[in-house]
Protein backbone atom coordinates (compact mmCIF):
# COMPACT_ATOMS: atom_id res chain seq x y z
CA UNK A 1 0.00 0.00 0.00
CA UNK A 2 2.80 2.37 0.93
CA UNK A 3 4.64 1.57 -2.31
CA UNK A 4 1.45 2.39 -4.22
CA UNK A 5 1.21 5.76 -2.53
CA UNK A 6 4.87 6.51 -3.30
CA UNK A 7 4.27 5.72 -6.98
CA UNK A 8 1.34 8.14 -7.10
CA UNK A 9 3.38 10.90 -5.40
CA UNK A 10 6.29 10.42 -7.83
CA UNK A 11 3.94 10.56 -10.82
CA UNK A 12 2.54 13.86 -9.57
CA UNK A 13 5.88 15.48 -8.70
CA UNK A 14 8.26 14.37 -11.45
CA UNK A 15 6.56 15.96 -14.54
CA UNK A 16 6.74 19.55 -13.19
CA UNK A 17 10.38 19.03 -12.22
CA UNK A 18 11.24 17.74 -15.68
CA UNK A 19 9.46 20.68 -17.34
CA UNK A 20 11.30 23.15 -15.10
CA UNK A 21 14.60 21.49 -15.91
CA UNK A 22 13.86 21.70 -19.64
CA UNK A 23 12.95 25.40 -19.42
CA UNK A 24 16.10 26.21 -17.42
CA UNK A 25 18.19 24.40 -20.01
CA UNK A 26 16.65 26.44 -22.81
CA UNK A 27 17.20 29.87 -21.18
CA UNK A 28 20.96 30.08 -21.81
CA UNK A 29 20.41 29.22 -25.48
CA UNK A 30 17.79 31.98 -25.82
CA UNK A 31 20.12 34.43 -24.16
CA UNK A 32 22.93 33.46 -26.50
CA UNK A 33 20.67 34.10 -29.49
CA UNK A 34 19.59 37.51 -28.15
CA UNK A 35 23.19 38.48 -27.40
CA UNK A 36 24.38 37.74 -30.93
CA UNK A 37 21.30 39.19 -32.66
CA UNK A 38 22.84 42.59 -33.41
CA UNK A 39 26.37 41.54 -34.26
CA UNK A 40 27.47 42.68 -37.70
CA UNK A 41 28.60 39.92 -40.09
CA UNK A 42 32.29 39.98 -40.95
CA UNK A 43 31.55 39.42 -44.63
CA UNK A 44 28.72 38.65 -47.00
CA UNK A 45 25.90 40.31 -48.90
CA UNK A 46 23.61 42.72 -47.06
CA UNK A 47 20.21 43.70 -48.44
CA UNK A 48 18.50 46.81 -47.05
CA UNK A 49 14.82 47.03 -48.11
CA UNK A 50 13.30 50.10 -49.70
CA UNK A 51 11.73 52.54 -47.21
CA UNK A 52 14.08 51.54 -44.37
CA UNK A 53 14.23 54.33 -41.78
CA UNK A 54 17.63 55.82 -40.95
CA UNK A 55 18.46 58.43 -38.30
CA UNK A 56 21.17 61.05 -38.77
CA UNK A 57 23.25 63.54 -36.85
CA UNK A 58 24.87 66.71 -38.19
CA UNK A 59 28.65 66.79 -38.50
CA UNK A 60 28.83 70.54 -39.09
CA UNK A 61 27.01 73.60 -37.83
CA UNK A 62 24.66 75.62 -40.01
CA UNK A 63 22.67 78.84 -39.48
CA UNK A 64 19.70 80.35 -41.27
CA UNK A 65 21.67 83.62 -41.39
CA UNK A 66 24.35 82.26 -43.74
CA UNK A 67 22.82 79.11 -45.27
CA UNK A 68 21.41 78.93 -48.79
CA UNK A 69 18.69 76.73 -50.23
CA UNK A 70 20.18 73.52 -51.59
CA UNK A 71 23.40 73.85 -49.60
CA UNK A 72 25.00 70.46 -48.86
CA UNK A 73 25.73 69.51 -45.24
CA UNK A 74 27.87 66.67 -43.86
CA UNK A 75 25.96 64.14 -41.77
CA UNK A 76 26.40 60.64 -40.34
CA UNK A 77 24.15 57.74 -39.42
CA UNK A 78 23.31 58.23 -35.74
CA UNK A 79 22.04 54.73 -34.93
CA UNK A 80 22.81 51.25 -36.24
CA UNK A 81 20.37 50.07 -38.93
CA UNK A 82 19.37 46.50 -38.00
CA UNK A 83 18.19 44.13 -40.76
CA UNK A 84 17.27 40.53 -39.87
CA UNK A 85 19.05 40.82 -36.55
CA UNK A 86 22.32 42.11 -38.02
CA UNK A 87 23.87 45.56 -38.27
CA UNK A 88 23.48 46.34 -41.96
CA UNK A 89 24.46 50.02 -41.82
CA UNK A 90 26.55 50.93 -38.74
CA UNK A 91 26.29 54.27 -36.99
CA UNK A 92 28.94 56.63 -38.25
CA UNK A 93 28.34 55.85 -41.91
CA UNK A 94 28.86 59.15 -43.77
CA UNK A 95 25.87 60.82 -45.40
CA UNK A 96 24.98 64.06 -47.19
CA UNK A 97 22.18 66.42 -46.21
CA UNK A 98 20.69 69.43 -47.96
CA UNK A 99 19.11 72.65 -46.76
CA UNK A 100 15.54 71.98 -47.88
CA UNK A 101 13.64 74.77 -46.09
CA UNK A 102 15.08 78.15 -45.26
CA UNK A 103 13.58 81.34 -43.88
CA UNK A 104 15.70 84.36 -43.07
CA UNK A 105 14.89 86.28 -39.88
CA UNK A 106 13.45 89.77 -40.08
CA UNK A 107 13.93 91.95 -36.98
CA UNK A 108 10.62 92.70 -35.31
CA UNK A 109 8.69 90.51 -37.75
CA UNK A 110 9.79 86.86 -37.74
CA UNK A 111 12.43 84.43 -36.60
CA UNK A 112 14.64 82.47 -38.93
CA UNK A 113 13.87 78.85 -39.79
CA UNK A 114 16.06 76.07 -41.09
CA UNK A 115 15.49 72.43 -42.02
CA UNK A 116 18.01 69.83 -43.19
CA UNK A 117 16.94 66.85 -45.30
CA UNK A 118 19.27 63.81 -45.68
CA UNK A 119 19.57 63.04 -49.39
CA UNK A 120 22.28 60.36 -49.78
CA UNK A 121 24.34 57.87 -47.82
CA UNK A 122 27.87 56.78 -48.73
CA UNK A 123 28.00 53.00 -49.06
CA UNK A 124 31.65 53.19 -50.11
CA UNK A 125 34.03 55.87 -51.36
CA UNK A 126 32.52 55.79 -54.86
CA UNK A 127 28.83 54.89 -54.32
CA UNK A 128 26.09 57.04 -52.83
CA UNK A 129 22.62 55.61 -52.21
CA UNK A 130 19.70 58.02 -52.57
CA UNK A 131 17.40 58.81 -49.65
CA UNK A 132 13.95 60.37 -49.48
CA UNK A 133 12.03 62.34 -46.87
CA UNK A 134 8.97 60.09 -46.58
CA UNK A 135 8.05 56.44 -47.04
CA UNK A 136 6.42 55.38 -50.30
CA UNK A 137 2.80 56.56 -50.35
CA UNK A 138 3.25 58.95 -47.43
CA UNK A 139 3.75 62.68 -47.11
CA UNK A 140 4.41 65.08 -44.24
CA UNK A 141 1.24 63.93 -42.45
CA UNK A 142 2.49 60.33 -42.30
CA UNK A 143 0.21 57.82 -40.59
CA UNK A 144 -2.59 60.35 -40.15
CA UNK A 145 -3.43 60.23 -43.85
CA UNK A 146 -2.76 62.46 -46.89
CA UNK A 147 -2.15 66.10 -45.99
CA UNK A 148 -4.84 67.35 -48.37
CA UNK A 149 -7.39 65.23 -46.51
CA UNK A 150 -6.22 66.51 -43.15
CA UNK A 151 -6.39 70.11 -44.37
CA UNK A 152 -9.94 69.56 -45.63
CA UNK A 153 -11.13 67.94 -42.41
CA UNK A 154 -9.53 70.40 -40.00
CA UNK A 155 -9.39 73.57 -42.11
CA UNK A 156 -11.68 75.63 -39.78
CA UNK A 157 -9.65 74.71 -36.69
CA UNK A 158 -6.39 75.38 -38.51
CA UNK A 159 -7.56 78.83 -39.65
CA UNK A 160 -8.69 79.72 -36.12
CA UNK A 161 -5.32 78.58 -34.76
CA UNK A 162 -3.39 80.62 -37.35
CA UNK A 163 -5.46 83.71 -36.58
CA UNK A 164 -4.89 83.29 -32.83
CA UNK A 165 -1.16 82.82 -33.36
CA UNK A 166 -0.97 85.93 -35.54
CA UNK A 167 -2.76 87.97 -32.87
CA UNK A 168 -0.39 86.72 -30.19
CA UNK A 169 2.60 87.60 -32.35
CA UNK A 170 1.35 91.15 -32.76
CA UNK A 171 1.03 91.51 -29.02
CA UNK A 172 4.44 90.03 -28.41
CA UNK A 173 7.74 91.64 -29.37
CA UNK A 174 9.59 89.33 -31.74
CA UNK A 175 13.36 89.20 -31.58
CA UNK A 176 13.98 88.28 -35.19
CA UNK A 177 16.55 85.66 -34.16
CA UNK A 178 18.18 83.35 -36.67
CA UNK A 179 18.00 79.60 -36.14
CA UNK A 180 21.29 77.77 -35.70
CA UNK A 181 21.86 74.02 -35.79
CA UNK A 182 25.02 72.98 -34.01
CA UNK A 183 27.19 70.05 -35.05
CA UNK A 184 26.59 66.94 -32.91
CA UNK A 185 23.42 68.53 -31.50
CA UNK A 186 20.12 66.78 -30.75
CA UNK A 187 18.67 67.92 -34.08
CA UNK A 188 16.86 64.79 -35.26
CA UNK A 189 16.84 64.08 -38.98
CA UNK A 190 15.12 61.07 -40.50
CA UNK A 191 15.17 59.66 -44.02
CA UNK A 192 14.18 56.49 -45.87
CA UNK A 193 16.00 54.46 -48.48
CA UNK A 194 14.70 55.32 -51.96
CA UNK A 195 15.61 51.91 -53.38
CA UNK A 196 16.57 48.46 -52.15
CA UNK A 197 20.29 48.42 -51.35
CA UNK A 198 22.56 45.41 -51.89
CA UNK A 199 26.21 45.58 -50.92
CA UNK A 200 29.03 43.67 -49.26
CA UNK A 201 29.64 44.46 -45.60
CA UNK A 202 33.28 45.04 -46.36
CA UNK A 203 32.28 47.94 -48.64
CA UNK A 204 30.56 50.02 -45.98
CA UNK A 205 32.22 53.40 -45.68
CA UNK A 206 32.15 53.43 -41.85
CA UNK A 207 34.23 50.28 -41.44
CA UNK A 208 36.95 52.40 -39.83
CA UNK A 209 34.96 54.99 -37.94
CA UNK A 210 36.82 58.28 -37.61
CA UNK A 211 37.35 59.29 -33.95
CA UNK A 212 35.75 62.71 -34.47
CA UNK A 213 32.62 61.13 -35.95
CA UNK A 214 32.40 58.64 -33.07
CA UNK A 215 32.74 61.48 -30.57
CA UNK A 216 30.05 63.48 -32.38
CA UNK A 217 27.58 60.59 -32.28
CA UNK A 218 28.22 59.97 -28.59
CA UNK A 219 27.43 63.62 -27.85
CA UNK A 220 24.30 63.75 -29.99
CA UNK A 221 22.16 61.51 -27.76
CA UNK A 222 20.21 60.47 -30.88
CA UNK A 223 20.94 56.80 -30.35
CA UNK A 224 19.55 56.66 -26.82
Per the prediction, the chain carries an average pLDDT of: 75
Least confident of 30-39, 59-68, 119-128: 30-39
**Residue 14 pLDDT > 90, yes or no?**
no
**Neighbour count for residue 191 (Cβ, 10 Å):** 24
**Residue 1 pLDDT > 70, yes or no?**
no
pLDDT in tens, 35-44: 343 545 556 7
pLDDT in tens, 49-96: 999 999 999 999 999 999 999 999 999 999 999 998 888 888 888 999
Amino acid sequence: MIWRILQIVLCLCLPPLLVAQQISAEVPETRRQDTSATLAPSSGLVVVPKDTEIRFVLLESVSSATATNGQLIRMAVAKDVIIDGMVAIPKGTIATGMVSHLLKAKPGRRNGYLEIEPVAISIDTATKAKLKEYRTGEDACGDFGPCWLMWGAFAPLILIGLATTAADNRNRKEKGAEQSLTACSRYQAYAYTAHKLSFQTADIHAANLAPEVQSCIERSALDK
